[in-house]
Structure 1
């Protein structure tokens, strides 16, 4: 199992709503799923710059995560997420 951290700064909430409608099935295509998601945060240490939304994603392995990210059939889904605002996703490992 491998995880990814998704961090979004949202300037188009409607686009984010549309993305959420298709995100789960796009992740599932490559064995991925949302482990946790939040729009409210509490700093446990330091003074981090909190995003508008964040999620922890899980994938069976690194190859599945990369396949999800690079799948040409999911290009519109990724473009929709990016259209909501800034989208940063880090593969953890």
Structure 2
């Protein structure tokens, strides 16, 4: 298994709503499922930049996670997410 952590500081709720309509199919294409999603995060030790929506995704493999983020067929879907806010995606593997 491979895990991906997403932190998205929301800037445009309409674009986020449009992204959410497509995100499930985009994840399923690469065998991923969301494990947890929270509209807010709390840093309990140390410091980090601004937090927003936090999501942890589970992929069957590291290659599947990399294929999801670089899939040319999902470029428009990823563009919606990027337009929705400031996003950082971290592969935990």
TM-score, normalization: structure 2?
0.91
Q: What are the superposed Cα offsets for residues 44-73 of structure 1, whole Å, 9 maximum, x if unpaired?
A: 323544522110011000110011111111
Q: Distance in 1 between matches of 2:49 and 2:71?
A: 31
Question: Which residue is 2:75 aligned to?
Answer: 75
Question: Which residue is 1:87 aligned to?
Answer: 87
Pairwise CA distance, 1:39: 0.8
Question: Which residue is 2:8 aligned to?
Answer: 8
Does the CA-based 8 Å contact 2:10-2:52 persist in structure 1? Answer: yes
Question: Which residue is 2:56 aligned to?
Answer: 56
Give 3-state SS (helix, strand or coil) of 1:15's partner.
helix
**4+ residue runs over 6 A deviation:** none
Q: Distance in 1 between matches of 2:50 and 2:35?
A: 19
TM-score, normalization: structure 1?
0.91
- How many pairs align? 93
Question: Which residue is 1:19 aligned to?
Answer: 19
Give 3-state SS (helix, strand or coil) of 1:58's partner.
strand
